[in-house]
Structure 1
Amino acid sequence: MGEVKETDLAKPFFVIYVVWHPSFELGKRISEAIMQHFRRDLYKNIVGGAGIPVVFRSACMPDHDIPISINPEDSEASAIIALVDDNLSESGGWVNYVKSLSEKTGESNKTGFNNLLFPVSFNKEALHKADLVEQAFRWDLWAGDDKDRVARLISELTYEFCRMLRHHLGQLENPSSNNLENYLKKVQIFLSHSKHDSDGTEIATAIRRRIHDGHGLSSFFDVNDIPAGLRFDEVLLAQVRISSMIAIHTDSYSSREWCRKEIIEAKVWNVPLVVANSINNMDERGFPYMGNVPVVRLGYDATDVSRIDIVISRLLDEVLKDFLWRCQTHEIKKQLPRKAFLIPRPPELISLSCVPEAPGQDDADSTDTILIYPDPPLSTEEERLINRVSPNVQLRSLAEWKAGATR
C-alpha cells in the first residue's frame, strides 16, 4: 500500500469562510445554515460527520472592531462568503476588512481560481458602499421568504464550488489548463427520461426550463440537443459519460431499453446521479441498477418548481462530492498498487464490471483487486454479497485503506 505524504494531510484541501457583521442577526442564521449543509448534511453518512470545514468570521478580536484575518493560502482552495448588509457597509473597518480579502484572493488567483470571494448583497446601496469588484449574489432580488432564499443561496454556492473544484482538478491533471474559458464552462446535466408516457417528457422539459432559468447550468435533452446527421446512440452514450444525470423515474422508465442503457452507462462511468421518483401508478419491474444513489421524490406534477429545485440542488451536491473526491485522491491515485482502483461511491455488484484490467495482469497473478471508496465502510451484508460473487475483490473505504486494512 502506498503511503500518503505528510504534507498532503497537514494542509486542509477546501475551506469555506463566512463573514458577517455581528449586528446582522439574519447573517448569523444564514451562516449556521451554510455550516449545517456543507459541514454536516452534505456528508451526514460519513463516519464522524466530517464534511467541508466551515469557519465563521464575525466575532471581533479584543480591542479591535474586526475579526481575525483570513489567509487563503492556509488551504489548497477556499471560498470566502461575505454577507454585505447595511451594518457592514456603514462600518469603515469592516469595509476595509472585506476589501482586503478581495485583494488577497485576487493576488492568490494570479495562478488559478482556487480562492474566491463571494459577496452576498442584501441591498444595492450596501453593495455599492462596499465597492467590491467581484460579482455578487443578489439576495435582495430573489423571490420568496428567508427560508427560500437560504436554499437558493446554498444551491448557487454549491454550483460555484463545483466550478472551482473542477478547475482545480483540471490544473492538477494539466497545469496548462488554467484559463478563464475553462472555468466558465457550465456543469452539464443529462436528463434521462422515457418518452413512452407523457409525464416523462413533460417533467424533463420542466426541469430543463428551470435549469436554464436560474442556475447557469447546461442540460442535454436528446430531442433538442442531438445534431442532425449524427447517430443518436453514439451521441447519447458519449454525453452520459461527461455529464451528471437526473433519471426521471416515471411508470414506463424501467421498461424502456434506452433508459436502462443510460443508467448502466452512468454507473459504469461513475457519473454523479440522482433518481427523481415520479411514479404515478406503479413500476411493473423496478430496474435494479437505479439504487445506491440518492432518490428524491419529485412527483408527476411538472409545474411543481419547488420540488424541481430540490432535485437540482441534490444533484449539485453529488457533483460537488464527486469533484472533492477526485481532487482529494489525485495524489493517492499515483501511489496505488497495480490492482487497486478508486471509485467515487460505495461499491455494488455493477462496480465489479467496471474495474479495468491492470497492465500485465494474467491468470497467474493471484493479487486481489482492491476497490477503494468514500467512507463510511459498507455494511456487512453488502460486503458479503459482493465477496460471494467475487471473492478475489477486497472492498476498503478510504480510511480503512489508509490505515493499512487488508484481508
Structure 2
Amino acid sequence: MEQINNPLNVYILWHPSLSEGINYAESFFSFLSRDIRDPLSRGIGIPVYFRTGETPVEINLDEAENSAIILLVNDEMILSENWRIYVNNLYDQIKENKNHKIYPIAFSTHAFKFTHAIQRINFIRLYEQKENIDARIDFLLSRITHELCRLLYGQETVSQITTNEIKQSAAPLKLFISHAKEDGVLLAKGLSDYLQTQTELKTFFDANDIAIGYEFSQEIESNIQKSVLVAIHSDRYSSREWCRKEIILAKKYNRPIVIINLFNHGEDRSFPYMSNLKNIRVNLETETEQEIFNLILLSTLQETLRFKYQHLYLNYINNKFHTEIKENGILSRPPELLSLLYLNDYQNKYIVYPDPPLGDEELEIIRMFNKEMQFITPAMLPLIDNLSGEENLNEKFLKGLTIGISISEVQDISKYGFEHLHIQDTLVEFTRYLYASGASLAYGGDVRYDKHFNFVEILFQLTRNHNQENKKPAEKVTNYVAYPINLTRTQQETIDLYDVAKFIDVHPPNNLTGDFPQILKADNPGDKYIWARSLTSMREKMNEEIDIRLIIGGKTKGYKGKYPGLVEEAYLALKSNKPVFLIGAFGGAARCIIEAIENGKTNELTASFQYSDEEYNNFIDYYNQRAKEEYLEKINYDELVSFFHTKGIKSLNNGLTDDENKVLFWTTNLTEMISLVLKGLKNIHR
C-alpha cells in the first residue's frame, strides 16, 4: 500500500516552561481535528501534532503538501539555544516553499528578538489580548483558522505579490448571508458591517451584494456557487421561498453552509433540507453583538476550512488508490437523500464521504435509495482494489471477529510529538471503524482507571451508533478483569456497567497458595507476585478467546505485572500464533516490541533498564525463585527480546505484507493506520 500523506499537517510548538502551552495545543487539536471533550463528535480531521521539550522532535515536511507550524514564543524559548537552532533549521527548510508556513505567536514584547529568521515574519501579538485564557484561545483560533483557510484556498498575502512577478491574487470567497427580512435582517446587516469594518476577514470573505439591474434569481444562483452560505434561521425563515431556494442551491453546488439558530418562538414546519449541517445557537438577549458575531465568524471559518480540507483530502486519497470515483461521487459532508438525488446518473458504485463512518440507522435509509451504491470513508478506500465483485464494504465484513484492544498511556510520549489525547483519539477512531465493520471488542484491565477518558462511556456510545443487530453493548464488548481489581467493583458499579460490557472476572491461578487479601501492597514482593500471576492469568484467558490483538502505546515502567502489560499480551499472542497488529508511532511498549522484532534489541526491554527500579529488581528475584519452585517461566528480558526477534515480521500473521507492516509500525497518519489494519483484518477474515 502506498504511503498516505495529508493536504495539511498542523504542528503546535511550545517551550515546556509555558505552563498554558498544553491548553493552547489541546484547543487547536479539538478545533482542527476532533473535540477531545466530545470524542464521538465529527471534526475537521486535520492532523495536529505537538512539539515541546528542551529538544523537540524533528518535523518531516514531506509528510504533507502543506504544513502550518504554530510557534508559541515565550521568554524561555527565546533564551534556549536548542530552540533557536531548531527554529532556524525549520525556517531554512520552508523559506523557499510557500506551502509550509511558520505562524509565530508573541506571548511578550520580547518575542520579536527571537532568532534572525523569525524576526522577518509578522507575529500574532497575543500579549495585547488582555482577556482570560479562553478569550485568548478563541482569538488565536480565529486568526490561525483564517490563515489556514488562506493557505488551502490559495489566497495570497500582499507581500507575496512582488514587483518582479505581477500577478493578481485570487478573489475573496463570498459570504452569502441568507435571511428572512421580517426577523433576520438586523442580524444579517450587523454581521455584514462587522465583517467589513471590525475584522481582518474582509480579505478572505466578501459580503455578498447583488448588483442593481441584474436578474435576481440568476445573480443568487451564480453567487451561491462560489460562496459560503450563512443562513440566519429565524422563525420566518423556512416559510420564505427564496430562503428555501438558497439552502437547496447551496446543497446542490456542494457549498459550505452554517446555520445560525435564531429561534424566538419556533416554526410551524421545519424545512427538511436544513439538516446535516453545521448548526450554532445564538441568543440576542443574553449575548453581546460582538460575542455573537465572533461566534458566527469563528464557526464559519471552521466550516469553510473543514469543507476545503475534506475536499482536498478525499480527492487525494481517491487519486492515490486509483479508485476512479468521479468528482460528483466525492462528498464534503455525510450523504443524505437530497445529495443522492443529484447522483441519479452517477455510474461508479462507490460514494466517498468524510470520516467518521455513519451509523447503521442512517446507512440503512440512504441505501434504500440505491442498493448497489456503497458509501465509504477515506480509510476504506484502499480496500476497494482488494475486493471481489460480490463484496460490499457497507456490510459487516468483520462480523464474527473479536479484536483484543491493547492500548494504554505512554511515559515520555511528548518526545515522539504526541500527548495522551492522541492515543485517546486513536482509540476512538479504531473503535468506531471496528464496530462499523461488525467486529466485537475485548479489553483487559479496569475500564474505570482514567477519570479523564471514560473508556466505558465511549464504547457504550459507539456501540449504540453502530448497532444494526440491536444488541446490548454488553454483547459487543468483553472486559476481562483480574484479581484483585474485580473485588473493588461495588454492587452499584456492577449494576451501572451491566449494559455496557460483559465482565469476565478472572481469579488467581489454582496453584497459588496462601490467603488473598482485597488490598495488595505494592512494596510487598509476595503481594506483587500475586498481582503478576493474576494479571498473567487474565491475559491468558483473554488470549484464548480473542481472534486478533491490536497493540498501541503501553507503559514500560510502573506496571504491576511480570512484564509490561502490552509486552506480555503480544508475547502470549505470538506464542499461540494469534494475528497481531503493532503501531509504534506513539512509543511505549508497542515501539519496544517493534524494535525487538526488527533489530533484536531495544533499550527499555533490557535488564539494565528494568532493574534500575530497586523495588522491581527485588520483585524479580522473588518472582524467579517462586517460578523455579513452581516450574514456571522466569522473567528474562534477553530471552524475551530474542523471542520477538526470532519470530520476526512474518509471525505477526496479520494479513499484511512485510512492507505494509513496516509502514504500520511507524506511520503517524491515523487514516493510514486504520486502513492497513482493516486491510489485514479483511484478508484474515476472508
The TM-score bracket by the shorter chain reads 0.7 to 0.9
Alignment of 1:102-141 (within 5 A): 102-107=91-96, 109=97, 113-131=98-116, 132-141=119-128
Counterpart of 1:37 in structure 2: which amino acid?
A: F
2:83 paired with 1:89: no
How far did 1:250 drift? Answer: 0.7
Q: Which residue of 2 aligns with 1:347?
A: 335
Query: Who is 1:175 aligned against?
Result: none
1:321 corresponds, among 290, 293, 306, to 306
2:53 is paired with a residue whose SS is: coil
Corresponding residue for 1:159? Answer: 146
CA spacing shift, 1:88–1:179, aligned 2, 3 Å: farther
Aligned equivalent of 1:246: 230
1:6 to 2, 6, 11: 2
Residue in structure 2 matched with residue 191 of structure 1 by the alignment: 177
CA gap 1:203/1:143 in 2 versus in 1, 3 angstroms: farther
TM-aligned CA distance change 1:330 to 1:368, over 3 Å: closer
Matches within 5 A, 1:234-273: 234-273=218-257
8 Å CA contact 2:13–2:71 kept in 1: the answer is: yes
Per mean C-alpha deviation after superposition, the further-off stretch among 335-344 and 82-91 is: 335-344
1:329 alignment partner, SS class: helix
SS of residue in 2 equivalent to 1:403: helix
Aligned partners of 2:200, 2:364: CA distance in 1, in Å? 42
- Secondary structure at the residue paired with 1:87? helix
Distance 1:129 1:396 in 2: 47
Q: Is the 8 Å Cα contact of residues 190 and 219 (structure 1) preserved in structure 2? A: no
Instruction: Say yes or no: does 1:382 pair with 2:362.
Output: yes
1:344–1:403 Cα change, 3 Å:
same
- Whichever residue aligns with residue 33 of structure 2, its letter is R
Name the residue aligned to 1:203.
187
CA 1:268–1:321 in structure 2 vs 1: closer, same or farther (change >3 Å)? same
Residue in 2 that maps onto 1:100:
89
The CA deviation string for residues 298-344 of structure 1, in whole angstroms up to 9 with x for no partner, is 13458432233222222222221221122222244453447781111
Q: Distance in 2 between matches of 1:146 and 1:128?
A: 24
Amino acid in structure 1 at the alignment position of 2:2? E
Aligned CA-pair RMSD: 3.0
- Determine which of 298, 305, 318 is the counterpart of 2:282: 298
**Compared with structure 1, are the counterparts of its residues 379 and 265 closer, same or farther at alpha carbon in structure 2 (3 Å cutoff)?**
same
Distance (Å, rounded) in 2 between the aligned partners of 1:180 and 1:351: 37
1:134-183 alpha-carbon deviations (Å, 9 max, x no partner): 12111122352221011111122112112222239xxxxxxxxx998446
- How far residue 368 of structure 1 moved from its aligned partner, in angstroms, is 6.6
Q: Which amino acid aligns with 1:295?
A: N
Q: Could you say if the C-alpha distance between residues 83 and 187 of structure 1 is closer, same or farther in structure 2, counting changes exceeding 3 Å?
A: farther
CA distance in 1, matches of 2:229, 2:383: 33
2:11 aligned residue: 17
Q: Give me the whole-angstrom Cα distance separating, in 2, the residues matched to 1:325 and 1:180.
A: 28
The letter of the residue matching 1:355 is L
Report the counterpart of residue 370 of structure 1 in structure 2: 350
> CA, structure 1 residues 268+149, in 2 after alignment: closer, same or farther (shift >3 Å)?
same
Q: How far, CA to CA, are the matches of 1:304 and 1:389 in structure 2? A: 44
What is the alpha-carbon distance in structure 1 between the residues aligned to residue 7 and residue 363 of structure 2?
30
SS in 1 for 2:269: coil
Structure 2 counterpart SS, 1:264: helix
After TM superposition, the structure 1 = structure 2 runs for residues 328-339 of structure 1, keeping only pairs within 5 Å, are 328-334=313-319, 335-337=322-324
Q: Given residue 92 of structure 2, which amino acid in structure 1 is its aligned partner?
A: E
Secondary structure of 2:375's match? strand
TM-score by length of 1: 0.81
The match for 2:24 is: 30
Alignment of 1:304-315 (within 5 A): 304-315=289-300
Gaps of 5+ in 1: 61-65, 169-177, 359-366
Gaps in structure 2 of 5+ consecutive residues? 156-164, 385-390, 395-686
Counterpart position of 1:69: 58
Cα deviations across residues 183-202 of structure 1 (Å, max 9, x unaligned)?
6x5343211111123xx111
Structure with bigger gyration radius: 2
For residues 119 and 179 of structure 1, the distance between their equivalents in structure 2, rounded to whole angstroms, comes to 28
Displacement of 1:260 in angstroms is: 0.6
Equivalent residue letter for 1:189: L
With over 3 angstroms needed to count, the CA separation of the structure-2 counterparts of 1:319 and 1:69, relative to structure 1, is: same
| TM, length-normalised to structure 2 | 0.50
Query: SS of the counterpart of 1:299?
Result: coil
CA distance, structure 1, for counterparts of residue 110 and residue 17 of structure 2 = 18
Distance 1:181 1:149, change over 3 A: farther
Gap change, CA 1:234 and 1:119, over 3 Å in 2: same
**2:318–2:324 contact (8 Å) kept in structure 1:** no
Distance change (3 Å), C-alpha of 1:50 and 1:210: closer
Partner residue, 2:604: none
- Contact kept, 8 Å, 1:18 with 1:81, in 2: the verdict is yes
Residue 356 of structure 2 aligns to a residue in which SS?
A: coil
Partner SS state of residue 70, structure 1:
coil
Q: CA deviation at 1:78?
A: 0.9
Partner of 1:173: none
- How far did 1:238 drift? 1.1
Q: Deviations over 1:56-75 (max 9, x none)?
A: 22212xxxxx4333342343
1:106 & 1:237 partners in 2: Cα distance? 41
Which gives a bigger RCO, structure 1 or 2 (Cα 8 Å, sep 6+)?
Answer: 1
Correspondence for 2:268: 284
Structure 1 residues 92 and 382: CA distance shift in structure 2, 3 A = closer
Aligned match for 2:378, one of 395, 398, 404: 398
Aligned residue type for 2:182: H
Deviation at 1:220, TM superposition (A): 5.3
